[in-house]
């Protein structure tokens, strides 16, 4: 039996915002597996801000996607054929399977997932990379202590919403910055103490109002003017966690550096970058702890599920225009 595969490959390096023509939709026949390979039927594809960076040429923490190559994406699926000693047919697995129906894998970077722990999309969200990014970025780099004020940008996103909830679990005041009244209402529902709508105006004034003792931990997903506003409100010895800069990823001009970085000096503060893969040896323990929080109702997860592989380019764009609500996941038929 020959299976058909559909996939999105990178057709062009985007200039500015990603557009549908940066991808090509292709169909072909799947080849036979070689020894040591497995075939995964992809079920859920994670759409992440980091994908924008992978489309650019140049050195980063991971090589860029080549033109003509299937677009890289983290996904979850089921093993449907296997010539690999470690992965039996029927196993659920996650890995960089790409934006396609089927992935042939050598098993590198592939990890089994336990579908009894949570619905599969949650394994790409709060119990997956976004949740782990929030967990290690906040706890290992931000080092919050009870009573601290923790501010997070992109707060309604997959990472940001977990940052705020873990801050609350650790006895901190959680303040979220997000775009629009709907997202801000959602932050209230999941327990943030205050929400700032950056589309409604003066972020600096709102930070002053909601953080009267200054910001102890700023977890930044967006960069740009919001990072600059937060820098003006740091408390002494504040920790700024640089997790991302979604406001800058589609720039055609140079990245806007934080003009107020000298606030680090005045406040003896630090700004530190993090890449979640560095914490891989501790993933299982962190997922275990977060699953307990979820079971206890202390940590809530919310996915924005888009059905159909063909929706990929439009769905990805929603990330950068801020239209998604919760973690964006593309769902493929079983």
Residue ranges that bind its own copies, judged by CB under 8 A: 59-61, 223, 228, 242-245, 248, 254-275, 278
Rg (C-alpha) for the chain, rounded Å, is: 20
Whole-angstrom distance, CA of residue 214 vs CA of residue 231: 10
Tell the smallest beta-carbon distance from residue 272 to its own copies (Å): 4
Tell the smallest beta-carbon distance from residue 24 to its own copies (Å): 28
* Two structure tokens written together for 116: 């009894």
162: enclosing H helix or E strand: helix 158-169
- Concatenating the DSSP letter of every residue in 163-185 gives HHHHHHHTT-EEEEEESSHHHHH
Tell the smallest beta-carbon distance from residue 237 to its own copies (Å): 9
Contact 164, 152 (CB under 8 A): yes
- Of 265 and 334, which CB lies nearer to its own copies in the complex structure? 265
Whole-angstrom distance, CA of residue 140 vs CA of residue 112: 26
318: enclosing H helix or E strand: helix 312-321
Tell the smallest beta-carbon distance from residue 202 to its own copies (Å): 17
- Concatenating the DSSP letter of every residue in 221-237 gives SS-HHHHHHHHTTEEEE
- Of 262 and 295, which CB lies nearer to its own copies in the complex structure? 262
- Of 33 and 275, which CB lies nearer to its own copies in the complex structure? 275
- Of 159 and 329, which CB lies nearer to its own copies in the complex structure? 159
Report in angstroms the alpha-carbon separations of 124 from 35, 65, 93, 268.
Answer: 29, 21, 11, 36
Task: Tell me the Ramachandran region of residue 320: left when phi exceeds 0, alpha when psi lies from -120 to 50, beta otherwise.
Answer: alpha
- Of 1 and 253, which CB lies nearer to its own copies in the complex structure? 253
- Of 113 and 234, which CB lies nearer to its own copies in the complex structure? 234
- Of 140 and 323, which CB lies nearer to its own copies in the complex structure? 140
Contact 243, 217 (CB under 8 A): no
Contact 213, 242 (CB under 8 A): no
Whole-angstrom distance, CA of residue 269 vs CA of residue 214: 12
Tell the smallest beta-carbon distance from residue 224 to its own copies (Å): 10
Tell the smallest beta-carbon distance from residue 324 to its own copies (Å): 22
Tell the smallest beta-carbon distance from residue 78 to its own copies (Å): 34
Tell the smallest beta-carbon distance from residue 231 to its own copies (Å): 9
Tell the smallest beta-carbon distance from residue 59 to its own copies (Å): 8
Whole-angstrom distance, CA of residue 215 vs CA of residue 167: 13
Whole-angstrom distance, CA of residue 126 vs CA of residue 122: 6
- Of 152 and 294, which CB lies nearer to its own copies in the complex structure? 152
Contact 247, 269 (CB under 8 A): no
- Of 260 and 311, which CB lies nearer to its own copies in the complex structure? 260
């Amino acid at each position: 039996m020959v299976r058909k595969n559909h996939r999105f490959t990178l057709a062009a390096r985007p200039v500015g915002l990603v557009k549908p023509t940066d991808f090509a939709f292709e169909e072909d026949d799947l080849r036979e597996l070689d020894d040591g390979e497995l075939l995964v039927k992809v079920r859920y594809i994670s759409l992440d801000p980091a994908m924008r960076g992978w489309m650019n040429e140049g050195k980063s923490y991971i090589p860029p996607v080549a033109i003509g190559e299937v677009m890289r994406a983290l996904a979850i699926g089921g093993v449907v054929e296997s010539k690999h000693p470690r992965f039996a047919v029927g196993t659920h697995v996650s890995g960089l399977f790409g934006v396609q129906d089927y992935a042939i894998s050598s098993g590198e970077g592939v990890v089994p997932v336990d579908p009894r722990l949570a619905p599969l999309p949650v394994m790409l969200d709060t119990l997956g990379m976004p949740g782990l990014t929030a967990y290690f970025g906040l706890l290992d780099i931000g080092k919050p202590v009870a009573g601290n004020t923790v501010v997070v940008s992109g707060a309604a996103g997959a990472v940001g919403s977990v940052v705020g909830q873990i801050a609350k679990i650790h006895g901190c005041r959680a303040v979220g910055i997000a775009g629009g009244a709907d997202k801000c209402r959602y932050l209230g529902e999941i327990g943030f103490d205050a929400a700032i709508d950056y589309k409604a105006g003066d972020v600096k004034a709102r930070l002053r109002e909601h953080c009267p003792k200054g910001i102890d931990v700023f977890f930044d997903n967006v960069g740009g003017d919001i990072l600059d506003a937060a820098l003006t409100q740091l408390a002494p010895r504040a920790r700024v966690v640089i997790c991302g800069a979604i406001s800058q990823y589609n720039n055609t001009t140079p990245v806007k550096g934080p003009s107020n970085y000298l606030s680090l000096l005045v406040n003896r503060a630090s700004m530190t970058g993090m890449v979640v893969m560095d914490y891989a040896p501790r993933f299982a323990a962190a997922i275990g702890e977060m699953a307990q929080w979820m079971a206890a109702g202390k940590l809530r997860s919310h996915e924005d599920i888009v059905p159909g592989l063909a929706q990929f380019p439009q769905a990805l764009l929603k990330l950068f225009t801020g239209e998604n609500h919760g973690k964006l996941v593309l769902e493929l038929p079983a």
